[in-house]
Structure 1
Amino acid sequence: MVYRIHFTVQDLARTRVAEAPMPLHELELAARALQSRSQPARLDAWRHRARAQLSAQARVALALMPAVGCSPGFLSPTKVGAVEELLEQVRSTPRERVRANLQETAHCHPSLPAWTRRLADDASLFAELCTGLSDLHTCLLAPHSAQFTESLAVDRTLRLQQLLTGGVEQLLTQANPQWMRWNPPVLEVRMVNGADRDLYLDGEGFLLIPSMFCTRAIVTDGRPVSVSYPACPDQCPSELTALASVPGQARSSGVSMLLGRTRTTVLATIAEHQGCSTKELATRAGIAPASASEHATVLREAGLIRSLRHRNSMLHSLTPLGLVLLNASGGGREAV
């Protein structure tokens, strides 16, 4: 069964990719992935570690975010912002909205815990839920925030390249072909819960949200309607066990290979022109394409850049570790 999302010309013109992370929306996707059994090779190590760290309050919040089905909209707004600010917005949610969201959720999630009936009117219970949401973020998402930001940046580079070379049609066709099919003017999204529905955008546009934890396609029926999908799954780590590199790791043996003028120029060029192709990198750095490709390979193997193939080109972006090295060396082309 599928969701059929109907586009008008205005909707196609207003189709876009999320420009920055949406922490609480990603937290909901992480909560779903935690309770799912999909992608065991990539996620089971993370699941095992996270489950062992869940607080009682975090489990309260988790109860409202099932692996399949809907959850109350006030818990996971599709908004960009600092986690603390977004959590404060959740805490100040009007009780009328809490009550309405829970009623909507009960229609597709009949096994909601009995305590949810008191949630809108019990201030202490609602405060416990909000504390649990914060704890859940600390456990599931915070340790991987650098990976999350990097993964979204790499995926956004690819999607913008698709938009430039093939327009909205290529973007919608290639974003998540396993779960989404573009059948103009309708985007069909396969649903694991058997839902069958038509959604009309009515000129308000459409948002694609890349996600590190999403394992399929998740439709959010808001304004605008959005679909979350796995960000560059072939580029993600095989399992979410290693945390992002920290400044103290910047002078590892791999990085010591990079202490040369030309390679620093290449790294700085990529930092200034995220998503540049090897040909563009060579032109901007003033070196031969073969040399640019060789230096990019060394930088990639050292974990300083990430490269993504798009058609016949390789697109290069800086990683957090690459940024650390540039900051430590002064970031300029004359630094070493």
Structure 2
Amino acid sequence: MVYRIHFTVQDLARTRVAEAPMPLHELELAARALQSRGQPARLDAWRHRARAQLSAQARVALALMPAVGYSPGFLSPAKVGAIEDLLEQVRSTPRERVRTSLLETADRHPSLPRWARRLADDASLFAELCTGLSDLHTCLLAPYWDQFTELLAADRTLRVQQWLTGGVEQLLTQANPQWMQWNSPVLEVRMVGGADRDLYLDGEGFLLIPSMFCTRAVVTDGRPVCVSYPACPDQRPRELTALASVSGQAGSSGTSMLLGRTRTVVLATIAEYQGCSTKELAARAGIAPASASEHATVLREAGLIRSLRHRNSMLHSLTPLGLVLLNSSEGG
């Protein structure tokens, strides 16, 4: 079964990729991944840690975010911002909107907990839900937020390259080919919940949202319509299985490898020309392509740059660690 998303010329012109993380939207996707039995084995360690840390209030919030199906829209808006500000917006949601959102969810999700129907009128229960939402973020996302931000930046580098070389058509075709298929002017999104539906964008645009925890495609039927997709899926296993040691990877052995002048030039060049290919890097740094590839490999293994393959090219961008090192060397 599929969602068929119909584009107009105006919608194609207004198609874009999320420019920054959306904490509550990603939290819903993480909550779904936590409960889904069909998720990859790479999430097992994360699931085990998270389940052991869930508070009673977090489980209340989790009950409204099923593995498959609908959840109340006011809980997980697709908005950019600090998590504290977004949680405060949830706490301030007008009760009439809470009531309407719950009725809409109940129509689509018959197994919605019976106690949820009291949320609009029970201030104490609603406060417990909001506390649970905050606890859920602390448990599922907060420890991994820096890695997610870095992953999203890397994914945007790849999507920009796709847009530059093939336009919106290539962007929609390659963002998530396993679950999304572009048959102009319709984007078909495969659904696991059996939904079969036509969505018309009506000129209001379309938003792609890269996600660390999404492993398929998730449609958010709002304005604009959003589709979440796996960000750089070939790199996510390392992000999720080695997160405990990521912050310690700036060891002396990695840094000492950067003391040479040429490698410093390569790092600075990547910082100035984010997303450059190895060929472009070599030309701008004034070295041979083979040498540029060798230096990029060392920088990548030291955690200072990230490289993504696009067609026959490797695209290089700076990591936060690389930026810190570069800024400190310039300051010295």
Match of 1:18 in 2: 18
Gaps of at least 5 residues in structure 1 are: none
1:220-259 correspondence runs (5 A): 220-238=220-238, 240-243=240-243, 245-246=246-247, 249-259=249-259
Contact 1:98 1:120 in 2 (8 A): yes
Match of 1:136 in 2: 136
Amino acid at match of 1:126: F
In 1, the alpha carbon distance for the partners of 2:158 and 2:239 equals 22
Contact 1:45 1:239 in 2 (8 A): no
Match of 1:73 in 2: 73
Contact 2:42 2:241 in 1 (8 A): no
Match of 1:189 in 2: 189
Taking only aligned residues, the RMSD between alpha carbons, in angstroms, comes to 1.5
SS of equivalent residue, structure 2 residue 240: coil
In 2, the alpha carbon distance for the partners of 1:156 and 1:38 equals 27
1:61-140 correspondence runs (5 A): 61-140=61-140
Amino acid at match of 1:20: A
Match of 1:155 in 2: 155
1:46-57 correspondence runs (5 A): 46-57=46-57
What is the Cα deviation at residue 233 of structure 1? 0.3
Give CA-to-partner distance per residue, 1:216-256, whole Å, 9 cap, x none.
Answer: 1000011110100000101223462333633x652332332
Match of 2:328 in 1: 328
Instruction: Identify which range, 281-290 or 121-130, moves more after superposition.
Output: 281-290
SS of equivalent residue, structure 1 residue 233: coil
Instruction: Identify which range, 273-282 or 151-160, moves more after superposition.
Output: 273-282
TM-score using structure 2 length:
0.96
In 1, the alpha carbon distance for the partners of 2:250 and 2:330 equals 13
Do the aligned partners of residues 147 and 199 (structure 1) sit closer, same or farther apart at CA in structure 2, a change above 3 Å counting? same
Gaps of at least 5 residues in structure 2 are: none
Amino acid at match of 2:227: V
In 1, the alpha carbon distance for the partners of 2:305 and 2:162 equals 21
Match of 1:212 in 2: 212
SS of equivalent residue, structure 1 residue 307: strand
Instruction: Identify which range, 17-26 or 39-48, moves more after superposition.
Output: 39-48
Q: Report runs of 4+ in structure 1 exceeding 4 Å deviation.
A: none
Do the aligned partners of residues 67 and 311 (structure 1) sit closer, same or farther apart at CA in structure 2, a change above 3 Å counting? same
In 2, the alpha carbon distance for the partners of 1:48 and 1:223 equals 36
In 2, the alpha carbon distance for the partners of 1:165 and 1:87 equals 39
What is the Cα deviation at residue 306 of structure 1? 1.0
In 2, the alpha carbon distance for the partners of 1:170 and 1:241 equals 31
TM-score using structure 1 length:
0.95
1:311-322 correspondence runs (5 A): 311-322=311-322
Contact 1:172 1:182 in 2 (8 A): yes
What is the Cα deviation at residue 29 of structure 1? 0.4
In 1, the alpha carbon distance for the partners of 2:304 and 2:282 equals 17
Match of 1:260 in 2: 260
In 1, the alpha carbon distance for the partners of 2:177 and 2:35 equals 24
What is the Cα deviation at residue 117 of structure 1? 1.4
